[in-house]
A and B are shown apart, each in its own frame.
Chain A
Amino acid sequence: MPLPRTVLRLNVLFRSALLGGALLAACLTALACAPSRQGAPAAGAPGAVLRWGGDAEGGAPFVEADPAHPDSMRGFDVEIADMIAAGLERTPEFVQVAYASIPASVERGDFAVGLSGVEDRPDLRARHALSLPYFEFREVLAVRLADSTRYRSLADLSGKRVGTLGATTAYDMILEAQQTSGVIPISYDDDVHPYSDLVDGRLDAVLLDHVIAERALRRQGGFYIVPEALARGYYVAVFARADSALRDSANTILRARMRDGALEATFRRWNVWDEQQRAHFARVVAEEGIGAVAAAKRDNGSLRRYFPALLRGAGLTLVLSCLAMSIAVMLGVLVAAGRVYGHPIVRAVLTVYVEVMRGTPVLLQLFVLYYGLSSVVRLPAFMAAVVGLGLNYAAYESEIYRSALMAIAPLQLEAARTLGLSELQILRLVRAPQAFRLALAPMTNDFVALLKDSSLVSVITVVELTKQTAIYATNIGSWFVPGVVCALLYLALSLPLSRAAIALERRWSHP
C-alpha cells in the first residue's frame, strides 16, 4: 500500500518538523538564558541584572505590555520589580512566563523573582521563599445583573457553574464548595474569558480577586460584583527556596517603600489603593504575622487522593477522542468522496477546507469555535471540543481516505463496471472496502495522535487528563509522579488500540 504510507510518512514528517522546530526554539531560549542565570551576582556588581518573571497575558494593573512601547512592560508588579531591583542596585529584566508556571520556573532558575499577582498560599510557602504580602485582595463573586440579588455567596450557587482561574485560591474555594454545596467548578487558563463567558451565559458566577473583577467590569461590564468579600488574600513575590537571602533583602526594600509611600503611590497610580491597603501596610510595617488565606486547605498530594480525578480525566479524554474521531471519520469519508467524485466546484471548496484545517493550528480553531463564534453559536465547552477536534481531524482523515481510494487499481473498477455495477455500488462494494484496509494503519496513527491532541481542549475549560495532571502537579509542586501516572494512562489508552490495528492488518494481509 504505497500511497497511504507515503501520506502517513509525510504526516509524521510534518509533525516531526514542527516538534523539531519547537525543540530548537526551546534550546535556543535555554542557551540564551543560560549565561545570565541569576546565580545571585553580588548586589551592586556593575551591570548586574535582576531577572524577574511575570505573565503579561495577565495584563494591567499587574503586568502588561506598554501600548506605546510593546517591548516594555508596565503595571504595579513591574514597578515593584523596579523597586526591588533598584534597592539591590541591579537592572531589572523581564521574562515572560505563564502565570501557573511562575513558582516552578523560579525554582528551576529561569529568573530570580516571580511577580504577577502571585497569591500567598501555604503550599507555595512550604516549597518556595515568599516575600512579605505587599497587597491585600478580596475574593469577590461576579454574577449577571439579573442575578444580583439571587447569588450572594457560593452556597447560593448549588448546581450552578462557577468559573475562575485554575491553580488559585479561588479555584480551591470553588472545589470546596463543590463538596459542600454542589457548585460546578470551571477552570480557566486566563482571567478574561471567565467574565465574557459569564455575560454570555456559559457561567453563572465568577470568583476572582477584586482587582481582576473590577478591571473586567471597567473593560467589559454587563455583570455585577457582590460587594461582600468571600475571603481575603495577599499578593507576594516568589523566590527559589534556596534564595531566601534575596527574599529577605527584597522584604527590607518593600517595607522601606511601604514606609516612604512609594508603594502607595504605585498602587494609587494603578487605581488599586484603598483604606484596606493602608491598614494592611500598617500591620506589615509593624511586622505582624500575616496568616495565610483561610480558605486554602491544601492536601499533601498523595497519589491515592488524586488518582480518581486522573481516571476521570482519562475517561473524559477517551470519550472526547472517540466522539471527535467519529466525526472526523464520517466527515472525512464525505470530504474524500467529494474530492474524488465531486463536481469541480465541490472539489475546490473541499480542498480549501482541508488546507485551512491542516494549515492552521488546532488551538486557534478551538479558540475561534468556542470564543470567536460565541455570538453566533454558543456551544458548550465539551461539545465545542468534540466538534473542534472532529472538524480538524476530518481534514487529515479525508486525505488518508482520498489517497487510499486513489490507490485502488483502476482495473478493479473497470472489472466492476463490466459486471454492471453502478458507480455508487462500485464505491460501496469494491473501492471503499479495499481502501479501508489501506487506510487502517494511518487512521490508527491519527487516532493515537488525537488522543494526545485532545489535551489542547483545556484552553476552552474542558478538564481532561493532561489538565487534571497539571492541576495535580501544581497542587503538589512537582511534575514527577503526576507526569509518570499521566503518561501511563495515555499509554493504557493508546497501546491496546495500536495492537488491535496491527492484529487486524495482519489478518487481512496473511490469511
Chain B
Amino acid sequence: MSAPLTVRGLTVTRGGQSVLRGVDLDVAPGEVCALMGVSGAGKTTVLRAIAALQPFTAGSVRVGDVSLEPGRLPPESRLRAWRRSVGMVFQANALFEHLCVLDNVTLAPIHALGWSTDRAESVARSLLDSLGVLPRAAALPRELSGGEAQRVAIARALAPDPPLLLMDEPTSALDPARRGSLGEVLRTLASTGRALVISTHDVDFARAYADRVAVLSQGVLAEFGSAADILSAPRHAATRALLTLPKSND
C-alpha cells in the first residue's frame, strides 16, 4: 500500500498563462506534506493535477509505479490504477447529496472495486467509527455539521485504501479545537504508511502536524523542506509573508 509521491517539473498553462512552473515535490509514505502559499499561489492546481482532474503541460507525476503524463487527461477507463492510488478530499467536501453517509462511503468500493455490500459496509463502519462519525451513518449530507461532513469525506476517500491522500484546505472550515482533532487524524493516517498532501495556509497547523512544507509563490515552488526548518528559518519572502499573515479561518 505504501508508495512515495514524486512530482517533477509540474507545469500548468491555462489560456496562455502559466499557472504552475516546474514544481518538484517528494513525499514519502508516512509523511504529511503541507502545501502552503497565499490564495492564488497554485496550491489547489497542484492537488488537482495530482488527482488527474487538471491536465498539465509538462513534467511528470508518479505514485509508486503508476504515473501521469502531460497532455490531455486520459479517459477514465485508462485512469483506473491512478484512481486507486490517489484519494482526494475536496475543500467543499462534495459529498453525494442524494446518498446517506454510509452509502457515500460504500459507493466506490461496491461499484468501482466490486466489493460485496457486506464487506464495503463493514469497512465503511470501521472507518466512520475511527473518525467518530459512525452515529451519523444514516444521515444525509445536508444534515451534517461542517466538521462531520469533512470526516465523512475523509472516510469516503479512504475507503478504497489509496496510498496517497490529498486534502484541499481541510482546516479552513474548522474551529481551533476541530483543527487539533483533524491534525490527530492526519497523523494516525500517516502512521499507517500513507503519504498525505494537504493544502493550507494555517502556519500553526502545519508546524504542529506536517513533516514537510512546500511553499508556492505565483506558481513556483519557493521553498521545500522539513516543516521545522522552513517555518522557523524562512529563506523566501513568500514564506515570511505567510508567517506574518493574520490568523484567519481562510
Q: At the interface with chain B, which of A381-389, A421-429, A451-459, A498-506?
A: A421-429
Tell me the complex Cα distance, A430–B108, Å: 11
> Is B143 located at the chain interface by the 8 A CB criterion?
yes
Size of B's binding interface in residues, CB under 8 A:
30
Given known contacts A423-B76, A429-B111, A418 and B157 CB-to-CB distance under 8 angstroms: yes
> Is A511 located at the chain interface by the 8 A CB criterion?
yes
Q: At the interface with chain B, which of A44-52, A361-369, A407-415?
A: A407-415
> Is B112 located at the chain interface by the 8 A CB criterion?
yes
B7-33 CB contact bits vs A (8 Å, 1 = yes)? Answer: 000000000000000000000000000
Given known contacts A414-B53, A511-B143, A420 and B96 CB-to-CB distance under 8 angstroms: no
Tell me the complex Cα distance, A511–B143, Å: 9
* Residue contact A437 to B77, C-beta cutoff 8 Å: no
A421: chain B residues at CB < 8 Å are: 76, 107-108, 111-112
> Is A42 located at the chain interface by the 8 A CB criterion?
no
Tell me the complex Cα distance, A487–B164, Å: 64
B72: chain A residues at CB < 8 Å are: none
* Residue contact B96 to A430, C-beta cutoff 8 Å: yes
> Is A434 located at the chain interface by the 8 A CB criterion?
yes
A256-293 CB contact bits vs B (8 Å, 1 = yes)? Answer: 00000000000000000000000000000000000000
Given known contacts A414-B90, A425-B111, A511-B143, A419 and B156 CB-to-CB distance under 8 angstroms: yes
B80-105 CB contact bits vs A (8 Å, 1 = yes)? Answer: 10011011101010111110000000
> Is A417 located at the chain interface by the 8 A CB criterion?
yes
Tell me the complex Cα distance, A434–B95, Å: 12
* Residue contact B94 to A420, C-beta cutoff 8 Å: no
Tell me the complex Cα distance, A421–B77, Å: 9
> Is A433 located at the chain interface by the 8 A CB criterion?
yes
A430 nearest CB neighbor, chain B only: B96
- Which residue from B53, B98, B156 sits with its C-beta under 8 Å from A437? B98
* Residue contact B83 to A417, C-beta cutoff 8 Å: yes
Interchain nearest-CB distance for B221 vs A (Å)? 24
A412: chain B residues at CB < 8 Å are: 94, 96-97
* Residue contact A418 to B83, C-beta cutoff 8 Å: yes
> Is B160 located at the chain interface by the 8 A CB criterion?
yes
Main secondary structure of the interface of A (DSSP, over half): helix
Given known contacts A421-B111, A422-B76, A415 and B51 CB-to-CB distance under 8 angstroms: no
B87: chain A residues at CB < 8 Å are: 418
Question: Which residues B92-138 have CB closer than 8 A to chain A?
Answer: 92, 94-98, 107-108, 111-113
> Is B228 located at the chain interface by the 8 A CB criterion?
no
B100 nearest CB neighbor, chain A only: A511
Tell me the complex Cα distance, A434–B87, Å: 23
Range class of the A interface residue count: 20 to 34
> Is B140 located at the chain interface by the 8 A CB criterion?
yes
Given known contacts A418-B157, A419-B160, A420-B112, A429 and B107 CB-to-CB distance under 8 angstroms: yes
B107: chain A residues at CB < 8 Å are: 416, 419, 421, 429-430
B83 nearest CB neighbor, chain A only: A420
* Residue contact B53 to A419, C-beta cutoff 8 Å: no
Tell me the complex Cα distance, A511–B113, Å: 31
Tell me the complex Cα distance, A411–B142, Å: 16
A411 nearest CB neighbor, chain B only: B94
A434: chain B residues at CB < 8 Å are: 96-98
A46-70 CB contact bits vs B (8 Å, 1 = yes)? Answer: 0000000000000000000000000
Given known contacts A414-B90, A415-B90, A511-B143, A420 and B108 CB-to-CB distance under 8 angstroms: yes
Given known contacts A429-B107, A511-B143, A420 and B84 CB-to-CB distance under 8 angstroms: yes
A409: chain B residues at CB < 8 Å are: 94
B92: chain A residues at CB < 8 Å are: 411
* Residue contact A417 to B160, C-beta cutoff 8 Å: no
Given known contacts A420-B80, A423-B76, A415 and B96 CB-to-CB distance under 8 angstroms: yes
- Which residue from B52, B98, B112 sits with its C-beta under 8 Å from A419? B112
Interchain nearest-CB distance for A50 vs B (Å)? 69
* Residue contact B111 to A418, C-beta cutoff 8 Å: no
B80: chain A residues at CB < 8 Å are: 420
A433 nearest CB neighbor, chain B only: B98
B53: chain A residues at CB < 8 Å are: 414, 417-418
Tell me the complex Cα distance, A406–B53, Å: 18
Interchain nearest-CB distance for A266 vs B (Å)? 74
A114-131 CB contact bits vs B (8 Å, 1 = yes)? Answer: 000000000000000000
A511 nearest CB neighbor, chain B only: B140
B160: chain A residues at CB < 8 Å are: 419-420
Tell me the complex Cα distance, A430–B113, Å: 16
* Residue contact B96 to A418, C-beta cutoff 8 Å: no
Tell me the complex Cα distance, A433–B140, Å: 15
B91 nearest CB neighbor, chain A only: A411
Given known contacts A412-B97, A434-B98, A437-B98, A417 and B143 CB-to-CB distance under 8 angstroms: no
Interchain nearest-CB distance for A338 vs B (Å)? 18
Tell me the complex Cα distance, A419–B75, Å: 14
B84: chain A residues at CB < 8 Å are: 420
Interchain nearest-CB distance for A226 vs B (Å)? 66
Given known contacts A411-B94, A511-B140, A419 and B76 CB-to-CB distance under 8 angstroms: no
Interchain nearest-CB distance for A426 vs B (Å)? 8
B86: chain A residues at CB < 8 Å are: 418
Tell me the complex Cα distance, A411–B86, Å: 17
Q: Can you spell out 13 A-B residue pairs with CB atoms less than 8 angstroms apart?
A: A411-B90, A412-B97, A414-B94, A417-B83, A418-B51, A418-B52, A419-B83, A419-B157, A420-B112, A421-B76, A421-B111, A422-B77, A423-B75
Closest 9 CB pairs of A and B: A420-B83, A419-B108, A420-B112, A415-B94, A418-B88, A411-B94, A433-B98, A434-B98, A421-B112
New A-B pairs, 20, CB < 8 Å, besides A415-B90, A416-B107:
A411-B92, A414-B94, A415-B96, A417-B53, A418-B83, A418-B86, A418-B88, A419-B108, A420-B113, A421-B76, A421-B107, A421-B108, A422-B76, A423-B75, A423-B76, A425-B111, A425-B112, A429-B107, A434-B96, A511-B143
Contact residues of A with B, CB < 8 Å? 409, 411-412, 414-423, 425, 429-430, 433-434, 437, 511
Contact residues of B with A, CB < 8 Å? 51-53, 75-77, 80, 83-84, 86-88, 90, 92, 94-98, 107-108, 111-113, 140, 142-143, 156-157, 160
